[in-house]
Structure 1
């Protein structure tokens, strides 16, 4: 029997890479999507095929561009003949803290297109293949409490895109349920760069007093959650938004000096 096929956007590094490793471990073929980091994407694909009984492929595409999305999905279908799991991990983020009124038009467009419209592009392309098979999994990424439409100071564009994605996630879940397709959202907590590709074992002996569970979050925490949603027996779970935060309040971890737009403790 052929393996299921997963497309993970933005997966040459970080949470996407860790998710690719987890799915490959479960025997799922993986398509690594990258925008610029070809070397790391190709290296990861080679490692997956070396270490697990799966096929892997790296494909370049900017998922905020419709033409790139069509080419990406076309390559997956041509190579694998199927596309069963779509994980929308890619999404731009502006690190600089900016008030909404200070965003440039191109910055705003990049946030909305990269985090919301890209999910529309890819989901529209893959859903027909999933419907044909009567099975599919779509996983989207949000942020802590995105399903409550909270204010997020200095993150207006990113937050607006992800809150919109909550509604899109739940709408697609209802529309595609009859076709055996589930659509869910995972909301990572404050997982810092050095831990995005780490395992849970890597942080077991390290304490994090800012997180209620007492340790830092890792890429494995997120990957395990995504893998659960991809299981055959998870077909009763759809339209769900799940926080993987260790209990930490990500949005209000800082107090803000609104005059200087700087973080203060």
Structure 2
């Protein structure tokens, strides 16, 4: 993996940060991306550079199409080719709402941030990956996204991610002959500081909702991404992988009668 360039969107904090550190440990040069977390991004950049690899931090909102193009161009000018693209960034509204309660602006932001932005960023990197005969694209989904089940009160987010499921599978088939793999990872309900923790750090903790019995960690997700990016993982493509400890995020929820 030494010398490969990895762009991870939304990587100043959380799962993106843990993924960036994991790929840097494998020898990849890293392009970090942030929207508002500038201080965290530059602190992480310094940490990664001390690991002996190149690293840059680029401000861009992937839901804004002009930012999307600027991000890809800036990374290519600074580091060269983009060999690995991890589409981690994606807006999410935790508050439960019926679809009718979303504003038009919120609907567009969720669709653009979780589906269209990822598609456009993929489009930017494909030419270079094809020319080198090698590439790894990782999308982020949610548990059971591949089943396209109803997810009441998450209508827009779920529609965007299940659309990304179909795109993941289609792109994987179209690009397989060029040495490019395309997969989706679907984390469980990993919250707060756990997104940046190791498996060892969460092993002694209890989680009553997750069948595994412990909460998920950033390492749980990052180690799968790292495996999918390995040169020997070229036969694994078009897969939707739940990393959830057995948790079903689409748990029944009965809205109280008013």
In the alignment, is residue 35 of structure 1 matched against residue 15 of structure 2? no
Partner Cα distance (2:36, 2:14) in 1: 14
Q: Distance in 2 between matches of 1:38 and 1:2?
A: 27
Match of 1:263 in 2: none
1:255 corresponds in structure 2 to 253
Per the normalisation by structure 1, the TM-score is 0.95
1:209 offset after TM fit, Å?
2.6
Equivalent-residue separation in structure 2 for 1:103 and 1:258 (angstroms): 19
Correspondence 1:83-232 to 2 at 5 A: 83-232=82-231
How many residue pairs were aligned? 258
Q: Alpha-carbon deviation of 1:125? A: 0.4
Aligned partners of 2:152, 2:139: CA distance in 1, in Å?
Answer: 23
| Aligned counterparts of 2:205 and 2:70: Cα–Cα separation in 1 | 44
Cα shift readout 1:42-101 (whole Å, capped 9, x = no counterpart) = 110110011x12111100111112211111111111111111000000000112211011
Task: Tell me the TM-score normalized by structure 2.
Answer: 0.97
Distance between the aligned counterparts of 1:66 and 1:233, measured in 2?
A: 34
Quote the RMSD (CA, aligned, Å): 1.2
Report the CA distance between 1:255 and its aligned residue. Answer: 3.1
Which 4+ runs in 1 deviate beyond 6 A? Answer: none
Q: Is the 8 A contact 2:86 2:137 kept in 1?
A: yes
- What SS does the aligned partner of 2:254 have? strand
Instruction: Give, in angstroms, the shift of residue 164 of structure 1.
Output: 0.2
Within 2, Cα distance between the matches of 1:18 and 1:130? 24
Deviations 1:113-149 (A, max 9, x none): 0000001110110000100100000000000111110
Q: Distance in 2 between matches of 1:45 and 1:241?
A: 30
Kept in 1: contact 2:2–2:26 (CA 8 A): no
CA–CA separation in structure 1 for the residues paired with 2:257 and 2:170? 39
Residue 258 of structure 1 deviates from its aligned partner by: 4.6
Q: Which residue in the other structure is 1:238 paired with?
A: 237
**Could you list the runs of 5+ residues in structure 2 that have no partner in the other structure?**
none
Cα distance in 1 between the residues matched to 2:175 and 2:234: 12
> 1:236, 1:156 → 2: CA distance?
33
Residues 1:7 and 2:3 aligned together: no
Tell me, which stretches of 5 or more residues in structure 1 are unaligned?
261-265
What is the distance in 2 between the residues matched to 1:147 and 1:205?
31
Say whether 1:20 aligns with 2:20: yes
Measure, in 1, the Cα distance between the counterparts of 2:232 and 2:150: 36
